[in-house]
Amino acid sequence: MRFPLPHAVVVPVCLTIGVLAVIWALLAFRSERRFLSTAMRATGLVQSLIAERMERSTVYFPVIRFTTAAGVTVTAKSKTSRSSGYPIGKTLPVLYDPDHPEDLEIDAFWSRWLIVIGATFLAVIALGIGIGTLLSRP
């Protein structure tokens, strides 16, 4: 037996989640644009992998060594993980903050924009359900 949720619950919950997701997407977009406006490019070498156990899987964060434009060698853990990891010794394009070179990102589309896309998707779905439910009231 199904118990449908009343409109009085669905609409405000979905609209609230949708608005919060829009804010999250905008903040993530601004943060990424700010980072990209000052970031420098380099080629890094995967030195090792740091395994982090999740609830049902393990993800691997690469530890990457690269040389900054100022000639300083930096070794840092990437914020980007993969379930299969990266091969040790693989070269990867990286972006780094010249003032804080340990804050690096792998220079790949999904590494940079996944959070923005995910938050935008959540906003569209939640707002769509909330608005659709609101408009379909009898």
Q: So what's the pLDDT on residue 27?
A: 97
Q: Per-residue pLDDT for 97 more than 80?
A: yes
pLDDT reading at 8 higher than 80? no
Does residue 82 sit within a domain? yes
In-domain check, residue 38? yes
DSSP 26-63: HHHHHHHHHHHHH-EEEEEEEEEEEEEE-SS-EEEEEE
What confidence score (pLDDT) does residue 54 get? 84
Residues 71, 74, 79, 81: is their CA dihedral positive or negative? positive
- The band of 69, judged by pLDDT with boundaries at 50, 70 and 90, is very high
Coil, helix or strand at residue 129: helix
Residues 108-135 have pLDDT tens digits of 898 889 999 999 999 999 999 999 988 8
| Domain with 77 in it | 7-135
Residue 3 is predicted with a pLDDT of 61
Residue 2 phi/psi, 5-degree rounding, is: -100, 140
In a domain, 2, yes or no: no
**Is residue 1 in a domain?**
no
How many structural domains are present in the chain? 1
Instruction: Specify the pLDDT at position 10.
Output: 84
Residue 103 has pLDDT above 70, yes or no: yes
Question: Confidence band (pLDDT; 50, 70, 90) for 16?
Answer: very high
pLDDT at position 66: 97
Is the pLDDT at 35 greater than 80? The verdict is: yes
Q: Is 102 helix (H, G, I), strand (E, B) or coil?
A: strand
